[in-house]
Amino acid sequence: MNKLWQKIMLFIISVILGIVLMTQIRTTNNVLGNETPHNKASDLNSEFAALTLEKNKLREELDQLKENSRKNEEAYKRKEEELDRLMKELEKQKILSGFYDVKGEGTIITIDAEPNAASIAYGHQYILALISYLNNAGVEAISINGQRYTNYTEIVPVLDHININGVAMVLPLEIKAIGFSRTIEASLNFVGGIVSQLGNIGYTVEIESSPEIFINRYDGEIEFKYAVPVYVEDDMGL
């Protein structure tokens, strides 16, 4: 009886072990499919290689984007520097064109005539020469009897007077020049210079330095009838 019971128990245990083994085999097939471990490893290696190539491609694209960004930043920096330079140049040209009231160190030159001296209309070329001397001395602003002198100012002799910016003037003339006083005086007061030339035709010249001179802006209006600006397009589209 015991032997029969042992055989029955052994059979039952064998059946249970068989069921467990079949279950494990089915579970493994569901997880791995019908592929062998070798095939699965090969597929994983292929997928890893593809991902590595994609990663390298993305890294190259990122490096290219960084390089483009660096070039754009450098280009914009150059444009900002150029814009800053142009703004400073514009301010300089506005001052030279009489667009602003200005003040600063300079020299006041007073020109008058002795009795029986030639009229200012006769001596207007000497006034033009004096203005040239001042410009050569590097002055930054000039006025004549309150009229701002610019590149567009005309000094025109009319009868016994001169017209400056359309305003009639006679002696005495008060010429204000903003710049380094010592340079201005040296440019006028050398032997045979403009001061001597004015003295030769009966004019007196007084030169006075001042720590601060005020010069009014140009009251007229500058119009361009023929000249138009030319704009150059750049590679940044600015």
For position 32, what pLDDT does the model report? 52
Distance CA 149, CA 136 (A): 15
Poorest-pLDDT segment among 16-20, 134-138, 163-167: 16-20
Distance CA 20, CA 18 (A): 5
Long-range contacts of 159-165 (CB under 8 A, 24+ apart): 159/121, 160/119, 160/120, 160/121, 161/119, 161/120, 161/121, 162/120, 162/121, 162/124, 162/127, 165/218, 165/219, 165/220
For position 169, what pLDDT does the model report? 93
Mean pLDDT, to the nearest integer, of 174-202? Answer: 92
30-78 pLDDT tens trace: 555 555 566 666 777 777 777 788 778 878 888 888 888 888 888 888 8
pTM to 2 decimal places: 0.63
144-183 pLDDT tens trace: 999 999 888 889 999 889 999 989 999 999 999 999 999 9
Distance CA 97, CA 104 (A): 17
Contact 114, 203 (CB under 8 A): yes
Taken in order 114, 120, 122, 128, the sign of the CA dihedral is positive
Query: Going edge to edge, which strands form the sheet with 102-113?
Result: 147-149, 141-144, 173-178, 102-113, 203-215
